[in-house]
Structure 1
Amino acid sequence: MLVGLTACLPAAPAAPTLAPTLTHTPVPTSGQSRGLLLLRGPYLQSVAANSIIVAWETDRPSHGEVVYGEAEEYGASVADPALGARHVVTLTGLAPYTLYHYRIVSDGEPLGADAAFRTAAGPDQAEFTFVVFGDTRTQHQVHREVVARILEQGTDFVLHTGDLVDNGWDTGQWAAFFEIERELMARASLFPALGNHESNSPLYFDFFHLPGNERWYTFDYGNARFVCLQVDGFADFGPGSEQYGWLEETLVANTQPWLFVYFHVPLYGSVPPHSAPFAEMEETAQRALAPLFERYGVDMVFSGHKHSYERNEVNGVTYIVTAGGGAPLYWAGEREPTQAAFARAYHFVLLEIDGDCLKATTISVEGEVLDQLERRIDAATLPFLPGQD
């Protein structure tokens, strides 16, 4: 649970800029792999303290391998034993919150430049940053400009609140998404939530490699727990559903000081619902989910869908709509009585964790600060840890 607008100590510094990453242009290779083109990636998935997934796709079947190490000389490698166009390689045995260089190769020939990632912070690492944004489905130039601003922050990882593309069944739209996100996803793991425009497409599950069942999942990073839900019109989340039961079990089991939840359709927002079904979904979510968030001490809830930025403070929980990643902006209707901030602007939210302090800064595509808040954990509401007196 968060305490008011209590000022924190200086926020954690942004992670340092990582080593050069791949360019946006597919790179032909030499030797045995001459003419092989890199169509997608490499992109990072499901970063953890001791492991990370590296995925990529080439224009034709090939052998794939990741060479990596704490220096550009690498020193270690993992190969995908299958011959194919799509490759998914998991690197294990890594050190927490450590910078690694990596490169993908095929038949001993590089498929691009050296890149770098940082593994996740372990439970003893309480300083890190992350970015949240969403609704990148159209207006690719705006999406590109938002990503460029995010890259300036050197963030550790990224959450996406859904509607990555306009039509989840369109392979061309996914190709455009990954091309725009190429440099960012080569540096930092993207943890997306399903939006209604993904349309429950199997392509989403082909491209992303996420924890759990990939629809709703959880992961820990440093001293925080993150919970992703499927609130998009394609899955039940009410009492008695599989997702609701899983959510309550996950919240009950949490022992991390910070607790964040994210999904697509928001509980609160001044932009009117698109249609009656979405209005009903919002009302159902308020009745079903808000009591769980309040009961189990969720600190912040991030959503998208309503193309704007908005922050509402409701019964000790901060609800943030971050849906300004590229899709056309919406106008607000009647102001929510719990509204603390609103901006009709393309943007992202940068969060900096420094122990028991949090700083959230909403930054527009032009670089303007739209909203900023600092919070400190209320020690009286922290989860009880085994062994505590």
Structure 2
Amino acid sequence: MSSLPRLGILVALAILGPVSIALAAPACSSSNDPAAADPTTTDDETDSGDVPPPCPANGVSKGPWSMAMTRTSGRIRWESCRAGSEGGLVLTPEGGGAEQTLTSTETMKDLTVRHTAVLGPQRSPDDWPGPAWMHEVVLESLPVGTCYQYALAADRSLTGRFCTSRPDGADVHFVAIGDTNPLLGEIVPKLIAKVVPLAPDFLVHGGDIQYYESAFETWTGWFPLMRPLLALGALQPALGNHEHETPDELDDYSNRFFGYPNFGGELTYYRYESAGIWFHVLDTEQAVEPETTQGKWLLAGLEEVSKKPGFRFSVLVMHRPFVTCGDNAQNQAARTGYASALAQYKVPLVLQAHIHGYERFEIDGVTYITTGGGGGLIGDMDENISRDECAMRKSSGGFVHALDVTVSGGSIHARAIDANGTERDSFAITVP
């Protein structure tokens, strides 16, 4: 969602009264230095002025995380702050079996812009210009529906989990979240602590992954607080407007970290599958209506996957919503334009974000969920309550949350849980 300007955020916080802000971000440009998370560190200890802090001994500056989940493959990435650092990845099957060490491909990116959070590096360390080295391990020829633990050979404490897509007809479990702004306050780490025990197969992110404009956040500060979530399984994100906050961000950060071509899509829109359930991830920063390039890709994909053996149903994932009672971002033309296709090609669920809160609509046999409560400043969920569509809104609220979703047989069960672990809404969908 379009964040308040930086000064506006600070004014808003003052109006709201005392706000508890977790000073848990590291104090150097590495996102993996445990000592850097000490909130008692002084400015002299954290602010290195115009000189970036030294690269840590393990050479890892961000990550690791997994992504690009298929039935037999995936990708694991991390960033290093020096060339030629240890590129090994240790992969161990959860069900038992020998561990194997795989070698990453290293690619250098020369970053040109320094990004600084308003409250300075003691709050969220700078994103520094200069060379950065991305490591990627492509996992291939894996068994269907198999989970693995992985660790970086450079530092075996940097770990995560990855599962290949489930086989036809199997149960599926994922968590959906959007608009993650962990450095805005303590509530996002609290929410993540409630999500971690759920142990989903993978994570669906509705976009606005990180917020420069929140005044508190850089990518270097974002990664440590999000690490427990990233370690759960493959992150399958949509891109939002805050992935375009600065001219360099989309290429230098968002796509470098999370972009990949997959199943005939582009870096910013793609589809993936688990157990015969197809997720079509849209880029709502481009035109998405049926007559557009992306719209034609979506319609062709919906038809194509509906004919595949084992197909169960499709889900749409996007950032800017097709329907909301919140701000002015809803795309009614796209929603009505796709209505017949969603019915024809068996799309019972649409996951959207951008609005900082929760909504559930039931319109023409489709459940639309706004799950933009990942930590951004909560918005007015009733700003446009006079819209006709708002009569079809079944539940809503301005609260930080994640959506826990399980699919078993022909039923989708979901519940919105807040940072206290309280269930704020639940629903079930029967898919014919």
TM-score band by shorter chain is 0.7 to 0.9
Alpha-carbon deviation of 1:83? 7.5
**Does residue 1:175 correspond to 2:220, yes or no?**
yes
Q: Which amino acid in structure 2 is aligned with residue 350 of structure 1?
A: D
Q: Provide the residue aligned with 1:350 in structure 2.
A: 404
Distance (whole Å) between structure 2 residues aligned to residue 125 and residue 112 of structure 1: 35
Q: Provide the residue aligned with 2:196 in structure 1.
A: 151
> 1:254-333 maps to which residues of 2 (within 5 A)?
254-255=305-306, 256-273=311-328, 278=329, 282-333=331-382
Q: Secondary structure at the match of 2:218?
A: helix
**Does residue 1:124 correspond to 2:168, yes or no?**
yes
Q: Secondary structure at the match of 1:342?
A: strand
In structure 2, relative to structure 1, the CA distance for the partners of 1:291 and 1:180 (3 Å cut) is: farther
In structure 2, relative to structure 1, the CA distance for the partners of 1:177 and 1:284 (3 Å cut) is: farther
> 1:53-68 maps to which residues of 2 (within 5 A)?
53-61=75-83, 62-68=85-91
In structure 2, relative to structure 1, the CA distance for the partners of 1:66 and 1:121 (3 Å cut) is: same
**Does residue 1:224 correspond to 2:277, yes or no?**
yes
CA contact (8 A) 1:329 1:345 kept: yes
Q: Which amino acid in structure 2 is aligned with residue 64 of structure 1?
A: G
CA contact (8 A) 1:301 1:319 kept: yes
Distance (whole Å) between structure 1 residues aligned to residue 208 and residue 142 of structure 2: 32
Distance (whole Å) between structure 2 residues aligned to residue 361 and residue 326 of structure 1: 18
In structure 2, relative to structure 1, the CA distance for the partners of 1:73 and 1:300 (3 Å cut) is: closer
Q: Secondary structure at the match of 2:211?
A: coil
Identical pairs, percent: 24
TM-score normalised to structure 2 length: 0.72
Could you tell me which runs of 5 or more consecutive residues in structure 2 were left unpaired when the two chains were aligned: 1-30, 36-54, 109-132
CA contact (8 A) 2:152 2:159 kept: no
**Does residue 1:133 correspond to 2:177, yes or no?**
yes
Of 26, 44, 58, the match for 1:36 = 58
Alpha-carbon deviation of 1:253? 1.1
CA contact (8 A) 1:101 1:114 kept: no
CA contact (8 A) 2:144 2:165 kept: yes
Give deviations 1:108-152, integer Å, cap 9, x for gaps.
Answer: xx4232735242233335112001111113615322222222112
Give deviations 1:316-372, integer Å, cap 9, x for gaps.
Answer: 000000111101111232160111111111111100111212211111111111111
Q: How many residues align?
A: 339
Distance (whole Å) between structure 2 residues aligned to residue 34 and residue 237 of structure 1: 43
**Does residue 1:371 correspond to 2:425, yes or no?**
yes
TM-score normalised to structure 1 length: 0.80
Could you tell me which runs of 5 or more consecutive residues in structure 1 were left unpaired when the two chains were aligned: 1-23, 379-389
Q: Secondary structure at the match of 2:427?
A: strand
Q: Provide the residue aligned with 2:47 in structure 1.
A: none
Distance (whole Å) between structure 1 residues aligned to residue 56 and residue 212 of structure 2: 34
Alpha-carbon deviation of 1:75? 3.5
Distance (whole Å) between structure 2 residues aligned to residue 96 and residue 195 of structure 1: 31
Answer with 241-250 or 185-194: which moved more.
185-194
Distance (whole Å) between structure 1 residues aligned to residue 149 and residue 357 of structure 2: 36
Alpha-carbon deviation of 1:288? 2.9
CA contact (8 A) 1:67 1:74 kept: no
Of 214, 235, 254, the match for 1:204 = 254
Distance (whole Å) between structure 2 residues aligned to residue 95 and residue 267 of structure 1: 37
Higher strand share: 1
